[in-house]
């Protein structure tokens, strides 16, 4: 008896179905990965924005670094378009012990593309008086 050559119609249908399932799974996985990458890029941009605000506040003269001046800090204009519903909160707390310092706390919140709140980007920094600054 001569061996069978070629594929039967059933084998071709099963192979095509398996390819379709693999392709659909791959497309969904690529979509999820792309969404996660965009979210990571937004978080990195948010952290850079928070760092910029922290540096701006840290560079303020010692006597002008207050809770009131921190409340006037705003989100950099270049960043606002990437974060719908973004909110920046900055506070300054004086820490007399063990060294005279001011703790600067910054929190940046925004909503994701799905409309839900995203975990905030937070940063805490400390400012110390110059040797020439009155304490």
Q: Cα–Cα distances in Å, from 27 out to 34, 37, 42, 92, 107?
A: 10, 15, 23, 48, 36
Supply the pLDDT for residue 133.
56
Task: Pick out the chain residues at pLDDT < 50.
Answer: none
- Kindly report, residue by residue over 64-86, the tens digit of the pLDDT: 999 898 999 888 888 888 887 78
The structural domains of the chain, with segments of one domain joined by +, span 9-127
- Give the integer Cα–Cα distance in Å for 87 and 36: 22
């Amino acid at each position: 008896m001569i061996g069978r050559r070629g594929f039967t119609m059933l084998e071709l249908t099963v192979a095509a179905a398996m390819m379709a399932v693999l392709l659909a799974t791959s497309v969904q996985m690529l979509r999820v990965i792309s969404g996660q990458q965009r979210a990571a890029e937004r978080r990195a941009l948010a952290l850079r924005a928070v760092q910029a605000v922290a540096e701006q506040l840290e560079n303020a003269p010692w006597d002008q670094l207050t809770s009131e001046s921190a409340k006037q800090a705003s989100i950099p204009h270049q960043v606002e378009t990437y974060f719908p519903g973004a909110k920046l909160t900055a506070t300054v707390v004086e820490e007399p012990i063990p060294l005279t310092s001011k703790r600067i706390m910054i929190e940046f919140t925004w909503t994701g593309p799905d409309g839900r709140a995203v975990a905030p980007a937070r940063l805490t920094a400390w400012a110390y008086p110059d040797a020439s600054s009155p304490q």
